[in-house]
């Protein structure tokens, strides 16, 4: 059977969103099942995914292909069509080149999921989500906060416990936990619908779906404590206010001077300026940012690399946005108003 190359690539891309796990064969081998003139691809691991496309062929077969080999073939395929021929335990693919591979022994563990009621996020929330997911943890032991939390009438927040990033909006229309695995994928599938159920969260397209089961640890997501911290931070009066673009440019340059294991820069608020300093092998790099404010602030250390994604998001929404810096014991706060929305970034001294 012959299928359009672009359609096969798009179908594979859906299941390729599942991270490969060394000990889980169902995440390493794509199950390809052809039946009823439909070819269905499946992978399951930390995420589950399934995608299908119509073939117009009556043949019935099942094949387990190494995802690395299949991905390489589709990435290098030539022409507008891929010719599939499955004969027993052999699969032959042709698209300006030929791939002839034997099937792996039957693999178990491919999960099924059926979406319930779906919804969509407006573009402005998709942009916020893409940034909020950057502040979810990526290390073991932090599973209880590995999600973006939405609350109706309040907004959305993410945290790795050292940084809290929040977009506050009284018009927010959802209360749900969106695990970071699928939250980070949504932008890859334009026009996708979303589905939150009692056991997890899914991204749904015409071709198929990607689903992340809810980790039981997320039942301990400390939303009440996070809200209290964010709401309190939002009320603090800044000691310095500056253009987001100016602060972003300064921190971007400072990051270039972070050598070896250095991850932070020293920040001091003085009269009409904010001074960024990076220690460089016994010397120092310094950059000033024009600011207005109500006072000075002794030097503290900022995790400047972590702040870049946040400042880039603010700039993308409003190029001339202003950002305020406030300081509380053990806590730094960046506040920025984007129309009717209030954004809050809270981070510990680095």
Query: Model-level pTM?
Result: 0.90
Does 234 reside within a domain? Answer: no
Distance CA 214, CA 143 (A): 10
pLDDT for position 174: 93
> Domain ends where: 67, 102, 137?
102
Q: Is 128 left (phi over 0), alpha (psi -120 to 50) or beta?
A: alpha
- 155 within 8 A of 179, measured Cβ to Cβ: no
Position 294 pLDDT exceeds 80: no
Does 108 reside within a domain? Answer: no
**In this structure, what CATH number is given to the domain that contains residue 323?**
3.10.150.10
**Are 258 and 307 within one domain?**
yes
**Are 73 and 38 within one domain?**
yes
**Are 95 and 157 within one domain?**
no
**Are 85 and 166 within one domain?**
no
Give the model's confidence band at 184: pLDDT under 50 very low, under 70 low, under 90 confident, else very high: confident
**Are 129 and 182 within one domain?**
yes
**Are 166 and 81 within one domain?**
no
Does 158 reside within a domain? Answer: yes
> Domain ends where: 186, 220, 254?
220
- Reduce the secondary structure of 128-157 to three states and give it as a string: HHHHHHHHCCCCCCCHHHCEEEEECCCEEE
% of the chain at pLDDT higher than 70: 100
Determine the structural domain holding residue 52 and report its residue range.
2-102
**Are 76 and 134 within one domain?**
no
> Domain ends where: 220, 248, 270?
220
**Are 138 and 207 within one domain?**
yes
Q: Which of the two residues, 76 and 293, has the higher pLDDT score?
A: 76
pLDDT tens column, 29-73: 999 999 999 999 999 999 999 999 999 898 899 999 999 999 999
**Are 182 and 266 within one domain?**
no
What Å distances lie between residue 266 and 50, 148, 188, 280, 304, CA to CA?
48, 29, 36, 12, 9
Does 166 reside within a domain? Answer: yes
How many structural domains is the chain composed of?
A: 3
Does 254 reside within a domain? Answer: yes
DSSP H or E stretch at residue 225: helix 223-234
pLDDT tens column, 95-145: 999 999 999 999 999 999 999 899 999 999 999 999 999 999 988 889 999
Q: Which single residue is written with the structure tokens 């499955």?
A: 86
**Are 144 and 212 within one domain?**
yes
**Are 196 and 290 within one domain?**
no
Does 152 reside within a domain? Answer: yes
Q: Say which residues have a Cβ less than 8 Å from residue 349's Cβ, sequence separation at least 6.
A: 300, 301, 330, 331, 332
User: What tokens appear for 120 in the block?
Assistant: 């969509």
- 86 within 8 A of 3, measured Cβ to Cβ: no
Distance CA 341, CA 155 (A): 9
**Are 70 and 134 within one domain?**
no
């Amino acid at each position: 059977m012959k299928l359009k190359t672009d359609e096969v690539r798009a179908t594979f891309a859906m299941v390729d969103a599942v991270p490969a796990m060394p000990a889980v064969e169902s995440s390493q081998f794509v199950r390809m099942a052809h039946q009823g003139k439909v070819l269905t691809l499946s992978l399951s691991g930390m995420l589950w995914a399934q995608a299908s496309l119509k073939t117009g062929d009556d043949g019935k077969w099942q094949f387990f292909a190494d995802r690395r080999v299949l991905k390489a073939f589709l990435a290098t395929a030539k022409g507008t069509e891929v010719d599939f021929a499955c004969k027993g335990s052999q699969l032959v693919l042709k698209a300006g080149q030929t791939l002839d591979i034997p099937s792996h022994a039957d693999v178990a563990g491919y999960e099924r999921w059926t979406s319930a009621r779906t919804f969509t996020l407006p573009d402005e929330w998709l942009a916020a989500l893409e940034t909020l997911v950057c502040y979810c943890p990526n290390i073991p032991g932090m599973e209880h906060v590995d999600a973006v939390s939405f609350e109706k009438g309040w907004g959305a927040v993410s945290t790795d416990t050292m940084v809290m990033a929040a977009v506050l909006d009284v018009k927010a229309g959802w209360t749900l936990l969106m695990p970071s695995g699928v939250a980070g994928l949504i932008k890859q599938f334009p026009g996708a619908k979303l589905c939150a159920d009692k056991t997890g969260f899914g991204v749904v397209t015409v071709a198929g779906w990607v689903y992340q089961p809810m980790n039981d640890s997320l039942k301990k997501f400390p939303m009440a404590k996070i809200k209290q911290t964010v709401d309190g931070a939002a009320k603090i009066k800044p000691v310095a206010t500056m253009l987001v673009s100016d602060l972003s440019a300064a921190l971007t340059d400072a990051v270039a001077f972070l050598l070896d294991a250095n991850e932070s820069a020293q920040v001091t608020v003085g009269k009409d300026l904010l001074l960024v300093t990076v220690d460089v092998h016994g010397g120092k790099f310094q950059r000033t940012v024009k600011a207005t404010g109500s006072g000075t602030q002794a030097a503290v250390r900022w995790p400047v690399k972590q702040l870049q994604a946040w400042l880039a998001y603010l700039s993308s929404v409003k190029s001339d946005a202003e950002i305020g810096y406030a300081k509380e014991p053990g806590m730094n706060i960046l506040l920025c108003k984007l129309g009717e929305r209030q954004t809050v970034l809270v981070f510990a001294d680095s």
